[in-house]
Amino acid sequence: MKKISWGVGITIFIIGFLILNAIFVFFAFGEKVDLVTDNYYAKELIYQEEIDKQQNYASLDESIEFIRKDATIIFKFPKSIDLDSLSGEIHFYRPSDSKYDKVFPLELNSEYEFVISTESLMKGYWKVKIDWEIKGSKFFKEEKVFIN
């Protein structure tokens, strides 16, 4: 049995190391990466506006109720708001895969409720972002929901 010289051993080690690195880089570039938002820099610049919206929401006398009932989620808004001047949206944000995100225009029924069927939503963890405006006052509420 012939021994391998130290020079050949080091060469084999370096070549093996480079091959393993090349394989790692190849698979790393194929990995899907979802950002929270595509334009995160512009979003960061207006973050103070979101903080102000959250403070406006905190100053309300009543808060939004989240009611899970069978295969629906009911968002019950305070009855003190003016339905005619209400505008906004509810954004279901899926942290694990942004292609499943859904945005619904905010349209309340006569009971001041917005009802969403969970059958169209994938099971798992969601962040629900409610962004609305009433007579020039803007509000924002974020809630975490697990759909099973």
Range of the domain at 10: 1-31
Amino acid at 69: K
CATH number of the structural domain spanning residue 106:
2.60.40.10
Amino acid at 130: I
- Mark whether 87 and 116 lie in a shared domain: yes
The total of structural domains in the chain comes to 2
Beta strands 113-117; 72-76: pairing state: antiparallel
Give CA 55 to chain center in angstroms: 21
- Mark whether 23 and 70 lie in a shared domain: no
Instruction: Give residue 105's pLDDT.
Output: 92
Instruction: Give residue 22's pLDDT.
Output: 96
- Mark whether 54 and 23 lie in a shared domain: no
- Mark whether 20 and 46 lie in a shared domain: no
- Mark whether 22 and 55 lie in a shared domain: no
pLDDT tens track for 78-100: 888 887 888 899 999 888 887 88
- Mark whether 110 and 44 lie in a shared domain: yes
- Mark whether 86 and 130 lie in a shared domain: yes
* Residuewise pLDDT in 10s, the chain (148 residues): 678 889 999 999 999 999 999 999 999 988 776 666 667 677 777 778 888 888 988 888 888 888 888 888 899 988 888 878 888 999 998 888 878 888 999 888 888 898 988 888 888 899 999 998 988 889 999 989 888 8
- Mark whether 127 and 62 lie in a shared domain: yes
Sheet strands side by side (includes 72-76): 65-69, 72-76, 113-117
Q: Looking at the chain, how many residues does it have?
A: 148
